[in-house]
Amino acid sequence: MSGGVDPEAGNFRNALGAFATGVTIVTTRDGDGRDVGLTASSFNSVSLSPPMVLWSLAKDAASLPAFLTATHFAVHILAADQEDLSLRFAVRGAEKFAGLALERGLAEVPLLPQCTARFQCRTTFRYEGGDHMIFVGTVEQFEHTERPPLVFHGGGYALAVRKAVAEPAGQAEPDSSFSQDFLIYLLARAHFQLFLLLRRDLERHGLSEDQWFVLSILAVSDNRAAAELDGLLWPTGKRATYELLASLTAAGFAQLHGGYDPQARVTLTDKGRDAVIELVAAAKAAEEHAERSLGSAETHVLKRALRAIIRETDPGAPTLLTPLHPE
Amino acid sequence: MSGGVDPEAGNFRNALGAFATGVTIVTTRDGDGRDVGLTASSFNSVSLSPPMVLWSLAKDAASLPAFLTATHFAVHILAADQEDLSLRFAVRGAEKFAGLALERGLAEVPLLPQCTARFQCRTTFRYEGGDHMIFVGTVEQFEHTERPPLVFHGGGYALAVRKAVAEPAGQAEPDSSFSQDFLIYLLARAHFQLFLLLRRDLERHGLSEDQWFVLSILAVSDNRAAAELDGLLWPTGKRATYELLASLTAAGFAQLHGGYDPQARVTLTDKGRDAVIELVAAAKAAEEHAERSLGSAETHVLKRALRAIIRETDPGAPTLLTPLHPE
């Protein structure tokens, strides 16, 4: 899409949205001692020495008079989990500061907690910028954490995911073009290798992966019908056959209340619960091992993407009864 | 980490890095008709009406004189795949424009191709900003695409991944706390459901998933030893047993040259190659179906994260020979 500037400014706004930014809340205190603040993505760095930053404020903003007279302001770079705070400070006239654990900074400017970074600034220049004023501040104090930041892009919130997670330059494997490309291969391999990390723990309890899945489902919500268990299990490629349930009963992990009846209830025994608790810890440890080269944003995106794939490819309910009997 | 401003500016630079930004290249033409440009992340929007943007340039930059005298400049917002361009324009004095398919914009300013967005600006204000000059331009022309943007954060390149991919508010499944939390469950289920999409195509050829994996590996690089195939296959939980290889031979998809010898070579037949080509297309279609609620950045991060997990959990080489015989 190409063209001159649209007087409606809608297209221009969309084009500006192509530039990803962090999200900040800028705060100050007005002449009457009232706290003032708003969400802004127009922040950026200006100078290292002296340390300076800038942001822009609409000339028709209710908070303009406060910022024009304030000697200081604070810029808070929001963390990925502070979307609510971003939305709260984006609305005019709301009770923005109510209930927040505020601190006080230079010139009593309100400081918000739990941000990725905070800059306390002395207002140094105010510049003309069309329908906005540009505020340049000299940074007098700042704080910085490693919290992943909230990102704004294309009109919505986003996460910043590192582009280059160190990948070996040339895959040693000659089948790399197969393994790199095929999602089904990547899923199969990641699944099996993660399972290998758990296998020793499962073997110690004499459990197969199938049996462990059944116990895990029961640990979350006990006393299910056999058919219901099968329905939950089968999208993983496993089946809650009578044989599997009977084997869990025989080993003392679960109890099958009834015989070859899809409605027979299955409950966890104390032994089963103890085993699950231990295996959940082992599974979490295996996951942490698997994810150790991933950042928190990558892990979040990975799990969300897998859930999205599961939704998109949901095969619906299984054919009940028949598959409960082994073929 | 908290404190006053470090005179060394290193910590301050790190704190500024907490604010994610897009990456731009700003270009102009100097008085001698030479193209000038540099990478900048200090861009941001200023005004909608009139449309204005700003960016900052170090006062000791070699390109400062050109930008001080130029009537126009262009800002290019880089796409996720333009990291090389970003690096090229970040280095002083390099032959930055060599070999690029330049266009010419207002005042003959050089325009770079394939960016996420471009803004052609008339220099309107130049402001003092410590060790930088702030340039404010009025946007006279702009273009905008849907290419995902390159992001800069914490000193490195990143991707912007949408924060909220619509997830059903309350999972209907009562086992949601199990399925939401456990990577091994998510992987197992995503893998199996993706396989279900392919199963009909595989059945049409009379192939199992295990057989298909063997054929796919051969399609990438043919004529492998049986033991080698097994080594490539086993991290997916499948084994290239003699029985499996013999079944492929019997069905005319592959040929096993030799008997019960781990070094026996396996080659693809024409029939096998035809089947693989068709199944690769089906697998790609199944993947596209699975990924249809994911953006390109999410898909990229998903596959990269799976590869990272595969690396982290690599079980090493299989025990050869013995497992080739079925147990």
CB contacts of A44 in chain B (<8 Å) are 19, 21, 41-44, 56
CB contacts of B39 in chain A (<8 Å) are none
* Subunit contact B132:A47, Cβ cutoff 8 A: yes
pLDDT at B305 over 70: yes
Instruction: Name which of B18, B51, B293 is nearest A117 (Cβ-Cβ).
Output: B18
Model confidence at B280, pLDDT cuts 50, 70, 90, reads confident
CA B118/CA A97 separation, integer angstroms? 38
| Series of mean pLDDT values for 10-residue runs along chain A (327 residues) | 54 93 97 95 96 97 96 96 93 86 96 96 98 98 92 91 62 46 86 89 91 89 89 84 92 90 92 92 90 83 89 71 42
Q: What is the DSSP letter of A157?
A: E
CA distance A142 to chain B (A): 6
Instruction: Name which of B1, B189, B313 is nearest A235 (Cβ-Cβ).
Output: B189
CA B249/CA B247 separation, integer angstroms? 5
Model confidence at B324, pLDDT cuts 50, 70, 90, reads very low
Which ipTM was obtained for this model?
0.74
CB contacts of A145 in chain B (<8 Å) are 1, 18
Q: Decide if A297 contacts A148 (C-beta within 8 A).
A: yes
Q: What residue has token string 């329905």?
A: A231
- In this predicted structure, what is the pLDDT of residue B172? 40
**B235 SS3 class:** helix
Of the residues B12, B42, B171, B238, the best mutation for testing chain A's interface (the one with the most A CB atoms within 10 Å of its CB) is: B12
User: What percent of chain B shows pLDDT beyond 90?
Assistant: 54
**Better-predicted residue by pLDDT, B100 or B176:** B100
Of the residues A191, A208, A230, A292, the best mutation for testing chain B's interface (the one with the most B CB atoms within 10 Å of its CB) is: A191
Quick one: how far is CA B231 from the chain centroid?
28
CA distance A266 to chain B (A): 15
| Angle subtended at Cα B284 by Cα B283 and Cα B288, rounded to the nearest 5 degrees | 115
Residue A221 to residues A224, B41, B96, B121, B314, Cα–Cα distance (Å): 8, 51, 62, 62, 33
- The tally of CA atoms less than 13 A away on the side-chain side of residue B316 is 3
* Subunit contact A149:B18, Cβ cutoff 8 A: yes
**A322 SS3 class:** helix
| Strand-pair partners of B40 | B24
Instruction: Name which of B9, B132, B139 is nearest A12 (Cβ-Cβ).
Output: B139
* Subunit contact B20:A45, Cβ cutoff 8 A: no
- In this predicted structure, what is the pLDDT of residue A113? 93
User: What is the DSSP track for B67-102?
Assistant: HHH-SEEEEEEPBTT-HHHHHHHHSTTS-TTTT---
Best CA proximity match to A216, nearest among A184, A175, A248 = A248
CB contacts of B315 in chain A (<8 Å) are 193, 196
| Strand-pair partners of A52 | A47, A138
**Better-predicted residue by pLDDT, B196 or A170:** B196
Model confidence at B174, pLDDT cuts 50, 70, 90, reads very low
Q: Which domains does chain B have, with CATH numbers?
A: 16-159 (2.30.110.10), 176-324 (1.10.10.10)
- Closest-CA residue of chain B to A166: B308
Residue A6 to residues A315, B49, B67, B123, Cα–Cα distance (Å): 47, 10, 26, 19
**A323 SS3 class:** helix
CB contacts of A119 in chain B (<8 Å) are 15
- Closest-CA residue of chain B to A24: B19
**A165 SS3 class:** coil
Q: Decide if B141 contacts B105 (C-beta within 8 A).
A: yes
Number of residues assigned to chain A: 327
CB contacts of A131 in chain B (<8 Å) are 47-50
CA distance A157 to chain B (A): 5
* Subunit contact B56:A77, Cβ cutoff 8 A: no
User: What is the DSSP track for B109-148?
Assistant: -EE-SS-SEEEEEEEEEEEEETTEEEEEEEEEEEEE--PP
- In this predicted structure, what is the pLDDT of residue B261? 85
* Subunit contact B305:A301, Cβ cutoff 8 A: yes
* Subunit contact A312:B298, Cβ cutoff 8 A: no
* Subunit contact B49:A194, Cβ cutoff 8 A: no
- Closest-CA residue of chain B to A106: B4
CA B56/CA B42 separation, integer angstroms? 6
CA distance A245 to chain B (A): 18
The tens digit of pLDDT for each residue in B204-252 reads 999 998 899 899 889 888 899 998 888 888 888 888 888 999 999 999 9
| Strand-pair partners of B13 | none
CA distance B325 to chain A (A): 20
Task: Specify the long-range contacts of residues B244-252, CB closer than 8 Å, at least 24 apart.
Answer: B244/B210, B244/B211, B244/B214, B245/B214, B247/B211, B248/B211, B248/B214, B248/B215, B248/B272, B251/B206
Of the residues A77, A151, A211, the best mutation for testing chain B's interface (the one with the most B CB atoms within 10 Å of its CB) is: A151
| Strand-pair partners of A110 | A104
